[in-house]
A and B are shown apart, each in its own frame.
Chain A
Amino acid sequence: DAGVTQSPTHLIKTRGQQVTLRCSPKSGHDTVSWYQQALGQGPQFIFQYYEEEERQRGNFPDRFSGHQFPNYSSELNVNALLLGDSALYLCASSFRGVVGRAGELFFGEGSRLTVL
């Protein structure tokens, strides 16, 4: 049973560039959330996708956008990269219709983005 997979694991970009991160949810899951974890901080909610639509959004600018595909996989896009966008980007999945242990999300290992 494959868990949440993310790619790439590491990448380096320069200021002003654009980046796309990818996530495949755990088998059977249909909801994907993205979190940003800056160094020394806890994960911070970016947005959540279900049925190919953005359902919830955290306090992030419009430079952060996403997409969900019919197979439930998801992409996170960040435009006009800033130095402050350097962070670990975590993808988490769940199955919207079923509540197992309250608050349980399944996280991938993350994509570490460095902006120079």
Chain B
Amino acid sequence: DQQVKQNSPSLSVQEGRISILNCDYTNSMFDYFLWYKKYPAEGPTFLISISSIKDKNEDGRFTVFLNKSAKHLSLHIVPSQPGDSAVYFCAAFVNSGGSNYKLTFGKGTLLTVNP
């Protein structure tokens, strides 16, 4: 029973264009959603998060959109750069206070940005 789903295993875009990565979830209890990036031979690194009370959060070239009614979130990268090529994981958790996060991850989407 996958509570966080990333249905696109891979995505390829041209440098300078927009990359849109999608994620769906089934657990209505989740109240935070986030994206992690992972390069080969490295651990995942935090990219951006959004609270369930918001519908958009921006950080530089990265914007996350949340549609609670559709249980859907997306990550927009504008403009895309070759260094953005990595696996992107969507994740979610139920906030219980503090930083003792128990994250539920999707399977990931491999983004390739072509020069």
Contacts and interface: CB of A to CB of B under 8 A. Distances in A.
Contacts, number: 81
16 contacts: A40-B107, A42-B91, A42-B106, A43-B89, A43-B105, A44-B105, A90-B43, A96-B98, A102-B34, A103-B32, A103-B93, A103-B101, A104-B34, A104-B49, A106-B43, A109-B43
Contacts of A48: 100, 102
Nearest to A95: B99
B29 interface: no
Given A90-B43, A90-B44, A110-B43, A105 B108 contact: no
B89 A56 contact: no
Sorting the interface of chain A by its residue count into under 10, 10 to 19, 20 to 34 or 35 or more gives 20 to 34
Interface in A85-102: 90, 92, 94-102
A98 B89 CA distance: 24
A58 B43 contact: no
Given A100-B99, A103-B34, A103-B93, 9 more contacts: A4-B43, A35-B105, A90-B43, A99-B99, A102-B95, A103-B103, A105-B99, A105-B103, A108-B43
Interface majority SS (helix, strand, loop, mixed), chain B: loop
Question: What range describes how many residues of B lie at the interface?
Answer: 20 to 34
